[in-house]
Amino acid sequence: MSRSAETAARLAEIHAAAFPAPWDAAAFEALLAQTGVFVLEARDGFILLRAVADEAEILTLAVRPAARRSGLGAGLVKQGAAAAAARGATQLFLEVADDNAPARALYARAGFAEAGRRPGYYARPDGGRQDALILALNLTAPLP
């Protein structure tokens, strides 16, 4: 198994523990092959980002349920923001379900502000749709 395939398998395993509709290893391998995509890993979580020109985006942040509320997610967001800034990004964006209160609180503590909304962006297992909030962080300002 190649190094990228091993990484993709690790990410898929953590993502499956963290989300009801996880991405598979092939999806992670394809993302990791794209220009500007990078990952920061911890034992029980990771953050996957893309930085292009002066903008960056958090593609996904996953933390195993047993490791939640330990500061791991906040640490990964902070490290991801710093890594994006080091790659030349001045703005960091992400999408989060508007009903995901824990994630919204995490991003608010990190300094993200609402920049828009995508109606019906997320499909739910019951067939429903959930809006996504677009959040932005100014990377030229001091991070909280």
Annotated catalytic residues are 95, 107
* 79 membership: H or E segment, kind and range: helix 72-86
CA 52 vs. chain centroid, Å, equals 16
User: By the 8 A CB rule, do 132 and 98 touch?
Assistant: yes
3 state DSSP class of 65: helix
Nearest-angstrom CA–CA distance, 128 and 79: 34
